[in-house]
Chains A and B, each alone.
Chain A
């Protein structure tokens, strides 16, 4: 029991007696039993809340979130970042087109010279 007076545990002062009496009075304030349907109502609310979440929210769940983040990053890199081979192919294609265009231009110019 709480007592503001500094004394040993075996000593009982007037405050101790007064607070002990209050302590006993408070015992009379009993709380009723919890309703039997409490858990069912709670789980229904949880289920309803889970159902309202968007599908992608599950991907943010901490145990799998890092894996999902890595997977998403990998997909983005695979789709958008060109490989070295792709760049070489693109350069070669451009070169060939330019050479072909130059040859065509020369062909066009040749009859005029003649």
Chain B
């Protein structure tokens, strides 16, 4: 119920943006900046690229304000744009570089990890184990086909339900359940040794 109210509020805000209210756009940005950047970060696994793509997403939202109609939930519409931008980026980067190396993003990620765990003062051994596990999770997610990856990230981290993911990926709910099952199965097989 709370989610429905929140979505309605988003649509109302977007309608106000259409009427020229820039404050409403700032509110939408405040509410969805984090989820969109985080989703894109996990899709492309590079912070600079994910923020660049998120800028493109919000720029497209702003450009579309004049023609916006609340036919779908705002979050579904937003993540449809984000997924489209992410899939295009992944396709273009594959074309440009072949398979993307994780070295840069790993360094960046590990730096972040060190900052995160600094307060808890883990032993060097614990830190190494954590880094290895994290790298394996990232590689397992990266190895998923792009559409499965997007579905898992929206389901696991962004809390979208099957209907919303189906709306984002233009599939039926049953197709999304099947897609997610195959994705989690692949992740389970790849991460089984970590149990």
Contact = CB atoms under 8 A, between A and B. Distances in A.
Asked if A and B bind, the verdict is: yes
Interface of A: 2, 4, 18-19, 21-23, 25-26, 28-32, 34-35, 38-39, 41-42, 45-46, 49, 60-63
Q: Report which residue of A22, A28, A34 has the largest number of chain B beta carbons within 10 angstroms of its beta carbon.
A: A22
A25 B194 contact: yes
Interface of B: 18-20, 29, 33-34, 37-38, 41-42, 47, 51, 54-55, 58-59, 62-63, 66-67, 108-109, 112-113, 116, 130, 133-134, 137-138, 141, 152, 155-157, 177, 180-181, 184, 187-188, 191, 194-195
A29 B38 contact: no
A31 B184 contact: no
A42 B133 contact: no
B14 to A, nearest CB: 13
B41 A28 contact: no
Nearest to B47: A32
A19 B188 contact: yes
B20 A61 contact: yes
Contacts of A39: 29, 33
B191 A25 contact: yes
Given A42-B29, A42-B55, 16 more contacts: A18-B188, A22-B191, A25-B137, A25-B187, A26-B152, A29-B134, A29-B138, A34-B37, A34-B54, A38-B54, A42-B58, A42-B59, A46-B62, A49-B63, A62-B18, A62-B67
B51 A35 contact: yes
Contacts of A35: 47, 51
18 contacts: A2-B177, A2-B180, A19-B188, A21-B195, A25-B194, A26-B141, A26-B152, A26-B156, A28-B137, A29-B137, A29-B138, A29-B141, A32-B109, A38-B33, A38-B37, A42-B55, A62-B18, A62-B67
Contact of A22 (B42, B177, B184): B184
A31 B42 contact: yes
A56 to B, nearest CB: 15
B47 A19 contact: no
A22 B133 CA distance: 12
Contacts of A2: 155, 177, 180-181, 184
Given A35-B51, A62-B18, A29 B42 contact: yes
A45 B51 CA distance: 13
Contacts of A26: 137, 141, 152, 156-157, 187
A20 to B, nearest CB: 10
B156 A23 contact: yes
B187 A32 contact: no
